[in-house]
Amino acid sequence: MISKPYLVALAIIATLAIATETRADQSELLFWKSLENSKDGDEYCAYMASYPDGKFLSLARIRARKYGGACINSNTHGVNNTSKDSFDRSDAKQSFFTSDIYFKAKKAFDSKDYKTAIRLWKISAEKGYPEAQGFIGGMYHAGLGVKKNYKIALDWYRKAAFKGVAQAQLGLGNLYGDGLGVKKDYVRARMWFAISANTGNQRAQFNLKKISLRMNPEEIAKSEQLALDWMKKHNQL
């Protein structure tokens, strides 16, 4: 057994959380910079929907009112709840919207509200947010908020892994190495550990050394070539 599945999944989720901790402030600033000179009131409504406690909330509210944003109630000069539909009118802001949901899900996870966390992450994941896809893989791997399902974990890890998420690549290696949700395959497991390790992932580097002790030179060489071919194809060298 390469590792204890529950602990591995928790480690993957925790590492993803640390790696993305600073993105909330960065995404808010980028969002604001993208619309600070806009005269489209709905874009300011979109900002308020994504960042209800945002640094530019007061100014966004003023501009939403000035430019006729749909979220503004003209009778009370307040802000109505901004619907998802009104936000979705601005495709350029969609990635920030999913990012906002992603961080709300992380907050729910930190509060051990796993069902809410995975429900929100699925919204982000289905829109293509890679780290969210990796989180869902970890949740199904560990059985947090959902019934443990290694095959579903495998599918979500794959989605994230092919977008370069090192922790998801590590997760795939663990599932292949332990034969969880897929036939045990040390060559394939080592391949994914090597790919993840190439990004500097220390756990993957450790697992790479560990699994190599169970393999013969031919198997190691095959896994090395598979990893190299994959990294060349997906620009991860």
Alpha-carbon span 131 to 125, nearest angstrom: 8
Q: Clarify whether residues 205 and 107 are in a common domain.
A: yes
Q: What domain range includes position 78?
A: 41-89
Q: Is 36 among the domain residues? A: no
pLDDT at residue number 86: 34
Q: Enter the tokens of residue 36.
A: 């600070």
Q: Is 210 among the domain residues? A: yes
Is the distance from CB of 132 to CB of 121 less than 8 angstroms? yes
193-227: per-residue pLDDT in tens?
Answer: 999 999 998 889 999 999 999 999 999 999 999 99
Q: Enter the tokens of residue 31.
A: 């969002």
> How many CB atoms lie under 10 A from the CB of residue 155?
15
Number of folded domains that form the chain = 2
Alpha-carbon span 209 to 96, nearest angstrom: 39
Report how far Cα 196 is from the mean position of its chain's Cα atoms. Answer: 16
Of 89, 109, 127, the residue at which a domain comes to its end is 89
Alpha-carbon span 215 to 179, nearest angstrom: 15
Q: Clarify whether residues 82 and 100 are in a common domain.
A: no
Alpha-carbon span 77 to 213, nearest angstrom: 68
38-65: per-residue pLDDT in tens?
Answer: 777 777 777 777 667 777 777 888 888 8
For the chain, the average pLDDT equals: 79
Alpha-carbon span 175 to 190, nearest angstrom: 11
Alpha-carbon span 144 to 136, nearest angstrom: 9
**What percent of the chain lies above the pLDDT cut of 70?**
72
Alpha-carbon span 126 to 179, nearest angstrom: 26
pLDDT at residue number 78: 38
Inform me whether the pLDDT recorded for 30 exceeds 50.
Answer: yes
Which residues are registered as beta bridge partners of 72? Answer: 79
Q: Clarify whether residues 155 and 83 are in a common domain.
A: no
Residues 6 or more apart whose CB falls under 8 angstroms from that of 91 comprise none
Q: Clarify whether residues 115 and 174 are in a common domain.
A: yes
pTM above 0.85, yes or no: no
177-189: per-residue pLDDT in tens?
Answer: 999 999 999 999 9
Residues 6 or more apart whose CB falls under 8 angstroms from that of 33 comprise none
